[in-house]
Amino acid sequence: MHRLNCICYFYKTCCDPYQYCEKAKIMFESHSCNSNCCKLCHQNKVSVFNELDAVTLDKLDAIKSVMVCSKGSVVFNEGSFPKGLFCIEYGKIKITQTGLDGKNQIVRMLKGGDVLGHRAIFGDDEYSCSAYAMEDTKLCFFPKNQFNSISENNGKFIHKFAQILAAELKEAERKITSTAQQSVLCRVAGSLLFLLENYGFEKDLQTLNVRISREELAEMVGTTRESATRALYQLKNASIILLNGKKILVIDKKGLFDATV
């Protein structure tokens, strides 16, 4: 099933460094995985690896490990030094930062095809954030030194990362402005819209394709759990969304958009 030159880590919830874990192994095997080969990966078309030549893809394949993280796992911790670059095959990752009194702030939300660890690697820096799997997630891992020697002489490849960093910077700066200027209600509406754009709907074309707790929504928005809850119910009372446990259904996308200003 998996290629011989791929080492497979099985990742155990909340353990660092990565360890073998029976549950992760079962997850790993239960998925109809692709060949664990970058060239054949269905994320190839959307990820930073698109447009890469076959030779570079082979090199990347040769150095990579594959790992599976169960929901809640830590991928890396704020303050530690990056050992390499991660690329998501499937799953969802939240990137969080610790603020006052250990209160978390979610600064990015990732999905299949996205990379993580690149900020610290290109910044030549420790991780400024932690990364957690929000659901069972499969990642590929490229050790830093080997990754660097592959990218080093490939201006196009580095340029692609610069492009990603530029897009992330744009989004972060926009978030500074909205956090500073908008009400909690507007920010909650904006975050739901972001989740919709980023993760899309489930098959019913109404339910947001991500399970997020009230606490996490509050951490995205930069408010308290209670205020996030109240904002959600305001949107519900305005017939813009429906709530069903952790499911959030968007029934009036335009209304949601209008609520962001």
Q: How far apart are the first and last CA of the chain?
A: 51
Q: For DNA, which is the closer residue by CB, 81 or 233?
A: 233
Q: For DNA, which is the closer residue by CB, 34 or 234?
A: 234
Q: For its own copies, which is the closer residue by CB, 74 or 165?
A: 165
Q: For DNA, which is the closer residue by CB, 57 or 243?
A: 243
Report phi then psi at 48, rounded to 5.
Answer: -65, -15
- Residue 212, classified by CB atoms within 10 Å of its CB into exposed (0-12), middle (13-18) or buried (19+), is buried
- Binding partner of residue 153 among its own copies, DNA, none, CB cut-off 5 to 8 Å per kind: its own copies
Report phi then psi at 96, rounded to 5.
Answer: -125, 160
- Binding partner of residue 185 among its own copies, DNA, none, CB cut-off 5 to 8 Å per kind: DNA
Q: For DNA, which is the closer residue by CB, 8 or 243?
A: 243
Report in angstroms how near the CB of residue 225 gets to its own copies at its nearest: 14
- Binding partner of residue 7 among DNA, its own copies, none, CB cut-off 5 to 8 Å per kind: none
- Binding partner of residue 123 among DNA, its own copies, none, CB cut-off 5 to 8 Å per kind: its own copies
The enclosing H or E element of 33 equals none
CB 132 within 8 A of CB 140: no
Sheet holding 84-90, edge to edge: 7-10, 65-69, 137-143, 84-90, 115-116
Binding site for its own copies (CB under 8 A): 97-100, 103, 105, 107-108, 118-120, 122-125, 128-129, 151-155, 158-159, 161-163, 165-170, 172-182, 221-223, 261
CB 190 within 8 A of CB 260: yes
Token pair for 115: 């990379």
- Binding partner of residue 163 among its own copies, DNA, none, CB cut-off 5 to 8 Å per kind: its own copies
* Dist. CA 58–CA 40, nearest whole Å: 11
Of 175, 109, 170, 121, the closest CA to residue 147 belongs to: 121
Binding site for DNA (CB under 7 A): 183-185, 213-215, 222-227, 229-230, 232-233, 243, 245-246
Report in angstroms how near the CB of residue 173 gets to DNA at its nearest: 18
